[in-house]
Structure 1
């Protein structure tokens, strides 16, 4: 409910409204009625006579009524009529940016009162503008286009629409390389792109197996791109597989992978021994990447070598296509490296800036700090020796024997 200012129309303005509308003496004569606020009352400020159609009269009548720093209201009559026979009107609310803030607030709070004084039943539409272009005929046409246009898509809906377009295009170009995304996978991709599912647990492993479909044997292995429930599995290049094997055997401690979106494969981007201090330099600032890093450390006196999977996603610095593909390929990649190559990932983390990768950050991720034990609140004992003597409860008198 909007705030009301208590500003009302003058009797002169009410009489003019009545004469200009249905059944009045001047019905159809006036094209526009300008109303202003003066001395805390709504007054008739100006009016314009009809000469042609409402589109022909618009700019010649409405625009001269507008002042650079002064808000106003304009009732503009259309040529169309309502079902009961009266003309339809537009309510134009003009509030320029250069006007005083107090005036703009007063005009905004009085709009509901003025429409009630005029009669809301004959107001077809309301148009608000801060510049003369907004109140012009061209601005009114833009307003109608905006009203008839579909509602803007949310970020998730926009990304889902993009995925469907890519699915159709890919299926048309090549059936063998098509990416068929079901509804569940699509929603998973969208949620991944909004950074909500990066740390979820992986599903139970599915061992490589052979399956027969109409007499054709298809073996699922590292180099086979396949559709999964969680995403789309691109084949891993042989060079990348070799480096991952070396990481598993302890020959190197860092492997970086990237997606070749044209060939639809996972390629090797870098592999070398690195330290935690130089790890942030391995993270690109404008493209996503997958990183496998063997973090050698000591925890509670035990020496450990933990494989950390790092998914670097620099937010909106990269394209929607990259975000979608990297998020949908992440889970299948981890599944392949764990069950086909044999790498056990101790921790999966997602970052948007390489500067986050510090030794303290990795230690906190691998070994979260436990909350210190807090003693339960002990009720304090009452003051000793101040309760007085114990009460004696007298029993029921019994007849003496």
Structure 2
């Protein structure tokens, strides 16, 4: 399991009854006391589009839930939906996002034909479903594991981009407390006593801890940063540029591709808050933020290109002289 949360017997019984009773269009599922439990249901009529109005009345803009939905009569596959509005509680958003794969596996992945993740109520209207179906036809079919991994990558990309066409559910960030040893190390970095501070998240305790604090130059950076575990690293990059020495601080987020889905989701959702805390609480101005699967991708050239991008020279053309002038 991705998070230790499992389906309750009540949910398993409700789901079994739902698959055998076509009088219901769908029902909600939430997380309570480390278990997935069933909540309100809504009836089925002859029109799927009309029944979605019943679903809309059950949803709010500040509570994240799963939705089990039937579009067509059996044996047509069901639809699983993770609805995670931006205004929902941060912990609730994380739990719903990270246990989605567990829910589908325990109910029976073979029973589901589509899986949707959304932050917006309007995407669960008749018009929203039509757009989703049109978009799905343009994509290659993915397994459920691939869908979840794609969403993690999307979340990481959105966190890196900062702004998107619509606000992502991870945009507010997850604010975990920082341990005392990490605080001391960040203060040391601010005072120039160390050049590299690495932080990690204790997922179970929901706290940020110090992985290591050291002094290294860019040539030793790849060897210093863990290749097995995700890390937030703050690196003081001392180098020469245009004849003068500079020492900007760079925020590095490294997350190996083999990391568990839940861990990747937590790191992606927490990154913005950690960087913001380092700047505001410790007074360490972060010149740039860089993301990589592996620290070996980060070298002097990479950092220089990031900090000092070369400007393209604009070509100028001489205006032709007027006839008769010399």
Normalised by the size of structure 1, how large is the TM-score? 0.42
Q: Does 2:263 match 1:345?
A: no
Q: Secondary structure at the match of 1:164?
A: helix
Match of 1:373 among 296, 299, 314: 314
Q: Does 2:254 match 1:312?
A: yes
CA contact (8 A) 2:98 2:265 kept: no
> Does the C-alpha gap of structure 1 residues 311 and 375 become closer, same or farther in structure 2, counting only changes over 3 Å?
same
Shift of 1:384: 7.9
Query: Which residue of 2 is the match for residue 240 of structure 1?
Result: 182
Q: Tell me the alpha carbon deviations over residues 106-152 of structure 1, each in whole angstroms, 9 at most, x when there is no partner.
A: xxxxxxxxxxxxxxxxxxxxxxxxxxxxxxxxxxxxxx999511258
Query: Which residue of 2 is the match for residue 261 of structure 1?
Result: 203
Aligned residues: 193
Instruction: Trace 1:219-230 onto structure 2 (pairs within 5 A).
Output: 230=172
How far apart, CA to CA, are the structure 1 residues paired with 2:160 and 2:153?
9
Query: Which residue of 2 is the match for residue 321 of structure 1?
Result: 262
CA contact (8 A) 2:196 2:235 kept: yes
Larger Rg: 1
How far apart, CA to CA, are the structure 2 residues paired with 1:258 and 1:348?
17
Q: Secondary structure at the match of 1:148?
A: coil
> Does the C-alpha gap of structure 1 residues 362 and 278 become closer, same or farther in structure 2, counting only changes over 3 Å?
same
Shift of 1:328: 1.1
Match of 1:333 among 240, 263, 274: 274
Shift of 1:307: 0.2
How far apart, CA to CA, are the structure 1 residues paired with 2:259 and 2:296?
18
Match of 1:195 among 139, 157, 165: 157
CA contact (8 A) 1:258 1:288 kept: yes
> Does the C-alpha gap of structure 1 residues 146 and 384 become closer, same or farther in structure 2, counting only changes over 3 Å?
farther
How far apart, CA to CA, are the structure 1 residues paired with 2:93 and 2:211?
30
> Does the C-alpha gap of structure 1 residues 166 and 324 become closer, same or farther in structure 2, counting only changes over 3 Å?
closer
How far apart, CA to CA, are the structure 1 residues paired with 2:97 and 2:161?
28
Q: Tell me the alpha carbon deviations over residues 3-41 of structure 1, each in whole angstroms, 9 at most, x when there is no partner.
A: xxxxxxxxxxxxxxxxxxxxxxxxxxxxxxxxxxxxxxx
Instruction: Trace 1:17-166 onto structure 2 (pairs within 5 A).
Output: 148-151=76-79, 163-164=95-96
How far apart, CA to CA, are the structure 2 residues paired with 1:258 and 1:321?
14
> Does the C-alpha gap of structure 1 residues 287 and 153 become closer, same or farther in structure 2, counting only changes over 3 Å?
farther
CA contact (8 A) 2:171 2:269 kept: no
Match of 2:301 among 340, 360, 363: 360
Query: How big is the alpha-carbon RMSD for the aligned residues of Structure 1 and Structure 2?
Result: 3.6
Query: Which residue of 2 is the match for residue 303 of structure 1?
Result: 245
**Could you tell which deviates more after superposition, 190-199 or 243-252?**
190-199
How far apart, CA to CA, are the structure 2 residues paired with 1:336 and 1:361?
25
Instruction: Trace 1:170-185 onto structure 2 (pairs within 5 A).
Output: 183=119
CA contact (8 A) 2:98 2:261 kept: no
Q: Does 2:225 match 1:283?
A: yes
Shift of 1:381: 6.3
Instruction: Identify the structure with the greater helix proportion.
Output: 2
Query: Which residue of 2 is the match for residue 270 of structure 1?
Result: 212
Q: Displaced runs of 4+ in structure 1, greater than 6 A?
A: 381-385
Q: Tell me the alpha carbon deviations over residues 33-84 of structure 1, each in whole angstroms, 9 at most, x when there is no partner.
A: xxxxxxxxxxxxxxxxxxxxxxxxxxxxxxxxxxxxxxxxxxxxxxxxxxxx
CA contact (8 A) 1:192 1:327 kept: no
Q: Does 2:235 match 1:293?
A: yes
Normalised by the size of structure 2, how large is the TM-score? 0.51
Q: Secondary structure at the match of 1:250?
A: coil
> Does the C-alpha gap of structure 1 residues 153 and 288 become closer, same or farther in structure 2, counting only changes over 3 Å?
farther
Note the residue ranges of structure 1 that are not aligned, 5 or more in a row. Answer: 1-143, 169-181, 202-227, 386-401
Shift of 1:163: 3.7
